[in-house]
Amino acid sequence: MKKNIGKVNASFPTPVVVVGAMVDGKPNWFEVAWTGIGDAGVVTLSVTPTHKTCDGIRAEKKLSVNFLDEALVPRADFVGIVSGNKVDKSGIFAWSAGELGAPLVDDAPVSMECSLLDIYDANGCYLLICKVEHTWAREELLDAEGRLDFAKYKPVLFEPGFRYVRTGEVLGPCAEPGKAFAASRK
């Protein structure tokens, strides 16, 4: 039996990312734990509009989405708990400019450079709708076809108990369990 636990969003865990944008000629960063997928080429970010990085995103219409490994968690957590309106966060990460000019975290295992498509005000938060323009990944995280191998990549995730978690093991390829189930029904 299932128990009704109220209005709980069970879409978690989600990848934790560091979002970067240029603000007044320097990079600014903040941690975002509420990420989503619009489609294969669109990422969504739910953010508080008062973040200084949001000023750069609104002005420049470009940003980076940098995925974490365990080594980046302390710095990512730091940029998530201090305000860029009070602390200069430009030197927290070594960075390089992407092809659009958005700042990319050099140490991030995977970084996406995005253009801003739209902003929706959703109950006092901004839902940023972003088009993925370029994705960079460490070569050792790719499979033989050049795709991300999540058994190697293991991005850090956020769960609603306000904890960081690791991804688990690969269960197997999609469609194979369904084919096996279909065969068992014959």
> pLDDT tens for residues 36-64?
998 889 999 999 988 899 999 999 999 99
* Cα separation values, 6 from 2, 11, 66, 122, Å: 12, 14, 33, 20
pLDDT above 90 as % of the chain: 67
Three-state DSSP at 16 gives: coil
Distances 103 to 56, 80, 167 between C-alpha atoms, Å: 11, 17, 26
Contact predicate 117/108, CB 8 Å: no
pLDDT digits (tens, 9 = 90+) for 57-88: 999 999 999 999 999 999 999 999 999 999 99
Give CA torsion, residues 110, 111, 116, 120, to 10 deg.
50
pTM: 0.91
CATH topology of domain 14-184: Pnp Oxidase; Chain A (2.30.110)
